[in-house]
Structure 1
Amino acid sequence: MAVARLRSVVLDCPEPLELARFYARIGGGTPREEDPDWVVLQIPDGPRLAFQRAPGLTPPEWPRADRNAQQFHLDFDAGSTWEELDAAEEEVLAMGARVLDREDYEKKDFRVYADPAGHPFCLCRIEHS
């Protein structure tokens, strides 16, 4: 028996509402600002993300484990074709994401980015059955 249920994945960031809007454009849902320092986003059929103001946040550096290593990252299903993955990449880059890893880009089923606050996330090509 579980001790507790997971409620939220919380991301520290300088601007909670801005980052919640970024992820709402990727995964859907509507950010709900509970106060200026705490915003919640329920992704439809997905996790609840919360965004907490953290002035002076130093984002992780991908893939450096020796300096401010990532603590976690989010994976998003961007579709089952390379065309869908390419289209999703175009959109997140236009929204302010930046590429973190281009190594073996054409061979991998995932691509690694940083959100506007610097948190790593991936767009993944998932073969649906």
Structure 2
Amino acid sequence: MRAELEKPVIDCPDPRGLAAFYARLLRLRVLENAPDWVVLGRKEGMRELAFQRVEPWVPPTWPDPDQPQQMHLDIRVDDVDAVEALALSLGARRAPGSPEVGYRVFLDPVGHPFCLVHGSAPVDDPRIGFDTSR
């Protein structure tokens, strides 16, 4: 038996618009492009991030504790200041109360939180020490 994560799918009001933001931020290519569904990846066959239209759209209200963020993306960067400048130029905004140590929290153009993670990674391979046999 085989089970592999293919991609996260992000709900949004405009899949093409939000996919364009992440494609430029993460240097990904558009692999599938329909009005209600867009898939991004580094190369053909690598379906890594998808966006689907949801109506009516209700944006996240993070950091409001009454409606949790539900999910967010951690994006590891080597130059946090340069990537922050790029993210802001593409329409992201800094989240209120974002920390400065280890990661910075932003909201994408429709309000999904994402983190720019910087500094040393805790381990080279995150699967080390994780038992998948259970």
How much identity, in percent, do the aligned residues show? 44
Which consecutive unaligned segments of at least 5 residues does structure 2 have?
A: 125-134
Task: From 77, 80, 103, give the equivalent of 1:110.
Answer: 103
Q: Distance in 1 between matches of 2:56 and 2:111?
A: 12
Q: Distance in 1 between matches of 2:71 and 2:38?
A: 19
Q: Which has the larger radius of gyration?
A: 2
Confirm or deny that 1:10 pairs with 2:15.
Answer: no
Match of 1:126? 119
1:1-129 to 2 correspondences below 5 Å: 4-43=3-42, 48-67=48-67, 69-79=68-78, 84-105=79-100, 108-127=101-120
Give the CA RMSD over aligned residues.
2.1
Give the number of aligned pairs.
120
SS in structure 2 at match of 1:59: coil
Q: TM-score if structure 1 supplies the norm length? A: 0.81
Q: Distance in 1 between matches of 2:49 and 2:98?
A: 29
Do the aligned partners of 1:24 and 1:43 also contact (CA within 8 Å) in 2? no
